[in-house]
Structure 1
Amino acid sequence: MSGGHREADGQAPSELLSALEIIESQPLAERAEAFTAIHDDLARRLDQTLGAGDPAHR
């Protein structure tokens, strides 16, 4: 993969890292909520990519 690889939704991996850096600078309670939101978003994208009926997804 090249350094220009982009996520399926068009976001560069560096954008995710930037978001994580911003979250890390927040108070703990806000970090927990923000990390949960990122987790939920990434899980949703993974489900969309793999498909909910894909046996490899389970």
Structure 2
Amino acid sequence: MSDETNAGEAVDGLVSRLSVIDQQPLDQRALAFAQLHDELRAALDSSSSAAGSTPR
């Protein structure tokens, strides 16, 4: 698979998860968004580390 295909699948998965979160009761959304935020941050951190780049 190409990086473009992987990125497209990742976006589709993210959109799906956001839709599920949006359908949850309001009191559960904050926790779900926080968990998703942590996962996205970890993914960005690991991709930056793997690429050898430093944050700007």
The two structures have a TM-score, normalised by structure 1, of: 0.71
* Corresponding residue of 2:43: 45
Q: What do residues 35-54 of structure 1 show as CA deviations (whole Å, max 9, x unaligned)?
A: 00000000001000002x74
Distance 1:42 1:20 in 2: 12
- What CA RMSD, in Å, does the superposition of the two structures yield over aligned residues? 2.1
* Higher relative contact order (Cα pairs below 8 Å, separated by 6+ residues): 2
In structure 1, the gaps of 5 or more residues are none
Identity of aligned residues (%): 36
Q: Which runs of 5+ in 2 are unaligned?
A: none
Which position in structure 2 is the counterpart of 1:5?
5
2:35 partner amino acid: A
